[in-house]
Amino acid sequence: MFSFLTAPQFANNRALLAAISCAAVCGIVFGLSMPLISLRLEHMTGSGLVVGLNGAALALSTLAIAPLVPRLMALAPARILLIGVLIAAAALFALFPLMPAVTPWFILRFAVGCFITVVFVISETWINQIVTPQRRAFMLGVYGTALAGGFGIGGLMFAAFSTAGDLPFYLASGVFLLGIGPVALLNSPQAVAPAREDASMDAIIDAAKSAPAAILAGLAFGAIETLTFSMLPVYADRISLDPVSIGMMVLAVAMGVLVFQIPLGWIADRTGRRVTLLAIAAIATLGPVLIGLAGTSLGLLIPILFIQSGVASGLYTVGLSLLGERFTGGRIAAANAAFIFAYGLGSLLSPPAAGVAMDGFGPSGLLVVLAITAGAYLLFLALTHRKAARRS
């Protein structure tokens, strides 16, 4: 135990633990705060529009801050940045119950989203820089599993406390502060800062152009994840499923995300990340079709959603590993910023598209948007894979 904390040969493992701890912390806060803030706003305003717009503030914060993170990393050590943003996020969460009004909550949600985005970009860059190529996707799968597991823990914490009280907000603050420990105390190499020329907006755009398969994986996953968690309960309600069945469907989705990411990372490291992404995109395209065919049969919906959501979650972690395969050192920061930006864009644009489709075509409109999103990415991968094969 003590040798792990001090021995030089475990330095990279300590860095991995610190970065993965950041994911777990953010997952816990997400799982606790997302339903908490939404329900409190619902009670405060009675407006679904206000609740939806407040959720959009989180996605907008990702778009606003992600391109700036490489520049921040060039200005200050990554470890100091992580500690600073975790402290700032903790302080902001403590302000929610002190300012129970709509406008301050929009500002706080946006600001907290900015800080969390900084954590994601730095921690994912950190992992990609220090893992060996042979286990890159596997370790990013561990990272994704920690994030998903944290989300589940946060959901359990939300269920355990009344939404009317202020204690959950202070618990979220405490979770952020706990995340500082591994980052500050574990002696390990920190994330390599990008050179000044690699921290510019041009560098981020160039990274996106150089690795479109990876960046578009982030876009597709942002859309699919957001639609699954935010719109699937609406779909289930419109096909006349009861609340217990809807809860079981959501649980199946969450468990799929938790279970599949490490095995998919292991497969990607051995068969190739691009080939694995092709298989993931194919299953993600077929899944919505099978969901529609399952109708209201819970016995069919549960395993389909478990597999569909779990496999689709690999778009994020395998896509990230493809970035690490394409870029090295400080240049990964710009690529990761582009990836997170694409994720935020997918998260922002997909719910309105699905809402319009469901209003126009009924509940199946959600499935159409999910299938088109995954199918478009699958088509892009297939075409680029064929072109690469011809050139070789």
Average pLDDT of the chain? Answer: 87
pLDDT at 200 over 70: yes
CA dihedral 353, 373, 284, 287 (to 10 degrees): 50
What pLDDT does 391 receive? 56
Spatial neighbors of 282 by CB under 8 A, at least 6 apart, are: 378
The stretch 290-310 carries a mean pLDDT of 93
Q: Output the furthest CA–CA distance in the chain (Å, rounded).
A: 62
More confident residue, 5 or 386: 386
The stretch 301-318 carries a mean pLDDT of 94
How far apart (Å, rounded) are the C-alpha atoms in residues 358 and 383? Answer: 30
CB 109 within 8 A of CB 37: yes
More confident residue, 114 or 358: 114
**Three-class secondary structure assignment of 180-229:** HHHHHHCCCCCCCCCCHHHCCHHHHHHHHHHCHHHHHHHHHHHHHHHHHH
CB 132 within 8 A of CB 124: no
The stretch 205-227 carries a mean pLDDT of 91
Q: Is 354 exposed, middle or buried (0-12, 13-18, 19+ CB in 10 A)?
A: buried
Tokens of 205: 């755009």
Cα–Cα nearest to 353, from 250, 230, 216: 230
pTM greater than 0.85 (yes/no): yes
pLDDT at 284 over 90: yes
pLDDT at 302 over 90: yes
Q: In sequence order, which ranges of the chain are alpha helices (DSSP H)?
A: 2-6, 11-45, 48-65, 69-75, 78-95, 102-130, 136-160, 167-178, 180-185, 201-210, 212-238, 243-271, 273-294, 298-312, 314-326, 331-361, 364-391
What pLDDT does 164 receive? 65
What pLDDT does 230 receive? 76
Among 286-290, 313-317, 359-363, 367-371, which is the least confidently predicted range?
A: 359-363
CB 131 within 8 A of CB 324: yes
What pLDDT does 317 receive? 92
What pLDDT does 268 receive? 93
How far apart (Å, rounded) are the C-alpha atoms in residues 58 and 370? Answer: 21
The structural domains of the chain, ordered by start, are 1-191 (1.20.1250.20), 194-392 (1.20.1250.20)
**Cβ neighbours, 10 Å, residue 390:** 7
Confidence of residue 163 (pLDDT cuts 50, 70, 90): low
Among 66-70, 103-107, 158-162, which is the least confidently predicted range?
A: 158-162
Q: How far is CA 176 from CA 28, 137, 157, 162, in A?
A: 9, 26, 15, 21
Per residue in 24-69, pLDDT tens?
999 899 888 877 887 788 778 876 667 767 777 888 999 999 999 9
* DSSP annotation string for 112-163: HHHHHHHHHHHHHHHHHHHS-GGGHHHHHHHHHHHHHHHHHHHHHHHHHS-T
What pLDDT does 89 receive? 95
pLDDT at 285 over 90: yes
What pLDDT does 214 receive? 93
pLDDT at 7 over 90: no
What percentage of residues in the chain have a pLDDT greater than 90? Answer: 46
How far apart (Å, rounded) are the C-alpha atoms in residues 26 and 63? Answer: 18
What pLDDT does 48 receive? 60
* Exposure on the CB side of residue 304, measured as CA atoms within 13 A: 18
Confidence of residue 329 (pLDDT cuts 50, 70, 90): confident
More confident residue, 166 or 284: 284
Q: Is 240 left (phi over 0), alpha (psi -120 to 50) or beta?
A: left
What pLDDT does 373 receive? 95
